[in-house]
Structure 1
Amino acid sequence: RPEGWEDLILAETEERARQTEDAHAAADVVREQRRRRAAEQRAQTAETARDESLEHITSLRAENDALRDELVHYESKQQELDETIAGLRQELRHANDRLQAAQGRLAKSSEAEDQSVNAQRNAEHVRDLALEDRRSALANLSDLGGILHDLRSLGQRLEAVLPHEQAAAERLPLPTPGRLNGNPQGMTIHLLKSTATVIIDGYNVTKGTWPNRSLEQQRELLIAATEQLAARFGTHLIIVFDGADIAGAHRENRSLIRVMYSPNGITADDVIRGEVRRLPLSRPVVVITDDQAIQRDVRSEGANIVSSAHFSQVLYS
């Protein structure tokens, strides 16, 4: 063996060990690089998968929103259909009601037709009886002619012996004392105490006397006050109101006055005018109103006029 062989072996061994370590280190580096590349690939794959998942989630959300909108739309349609069905059911009930009413009218119409046929038969029977009576009357016509001649003769004899009463050509207003000129209250009392028929324009008086009361209260107040006035002066009083459909319009328990209500379609003004014309021309008439048209018309009929305000003063004098 050469000298220093041990050192040579040791050096060789160390060199081989170093080479082995370098090989191991290189292998470790390669393995580390491979692991890093694999990790990078996995990370890239994961990122790609994440992006795809996000896109899929976004797509799913959009689809979900669309489905929700569609669900809301269908719910609205369902509500409209429910309302339509409810309306159709209501119309069906109304149609059934109309059908029943029509059937009832048809039944009544048939009954009325039967009654009409019976009435026509009765009318024909009455006509036959009337024709028979006519024939009998014609048979007795000569006798009736004689009776008529006798009646005419009797009438002529009565006209010859009975006195003739000359009818008044027109109504004359009541004369008023000159001392009452300028004294409207005294003039009103004078006319109320006369023999005239006094016609009162009801609401024309009440609306000026009790403007804050209801129409029913106004009527009752005027009726009560005029009843006291009639008892006080002995006046023949007529109150005229509008409206025949008023409760109590046909009461007959007014012992001192007469209350009239205009019928449908006729005003109290026209009733007052007609009442003035209806009364005999020999009877004086006093009309109480502030209505100028009524005053003009009844004055032409010979009536005296008293204003509603002056009459109201007398009511509480």
Structure 2
Amino acid sequence: MPAHCLVGLAIVVALAGCAARDGVRIPAGNRVVAESDALILPAAGGPAVLDVVERTYTNAVEQKVSLFTSSAVPGQNYLNIQMFGPMQAEHDGETRLGFRPVHVAQLAREMRQQVPGVPLRTSGLYLQNNYGPFGYAFGRSASGDACLYGWQQIRARDNERTMFQNRGNIQIRARVCDSEADERQLLALMYGYTISGTFVPGGWNPYGAPRPVDPTLGEDSSPILPREEELSTRPVPVAAPRVRRVAVENAAPAATAADVSGAHRQPAVLVPSPVAVEGAATQKGTPVVPAPGCVEGGSACN
């Protein structure tokens, strides 16, 4: 091929490459976002947040908040949230996220995948956090590490959902393993997390209508007692023994003007109460306070 043809072919290929980059678009996938953009966070003082990975869909947004892990069980501790709602038009060409109903068979598959090798037992307790009822399973690995897998679905009641109001759905999953924690400590994660994300349209409200106020509030014959954890249990400090301060008079030369002014005033000493009186038996070295009315050289001082 002639040289000028090779040059022309190279120019055509270069132009084609530039044209291919015009309007380039990153396909849908995971991206790391700042912790301040997290849709769900553990309670203050809870496991430290390592990173937040987000993925958007045509009908939902999903985030996986990775948490500090101290365990030999394979896998990472995390809080996972899926918020189903009206997405922006720019996400129309992306994948649609399938809804995961809370069924026993589905949860069993999730637990085997997320907490491999640990026999988890589903709790039969009915429990609620600030967002409603939730469930969890707990177990220990062969090395003794405690593991918990929790789940929660937040959705308005059937009689409250309409085409325009109280729409939306939130799915939450929590996976946490710890080599030094017990079941109660791991369960605190399910009670302490906060959901901070929402969708702009007013019709999106998976929490449903506000619950009515307890009718007994403010009424008589309806005492409200504090819970045990709300009361202070600090011990009362023991007061130190009281000590009386008395001045000790010793056989010193007659006071001078300087003494009267306080320049050579005898220091006060601390003597435990009661104060010894004249004639009482005293231990060696214990000062004795003269009786009232003692005059130097008088009989009362003898």
TM class by smaller structure: under 0.3
Quick check: which has more Rg, 1 or 2?
Answer: 1
Q: Taking structure 2 as the reference length, what is the TM-score of the superposition? A: 0.17
Q: Which has the higher strand share?
A: 2
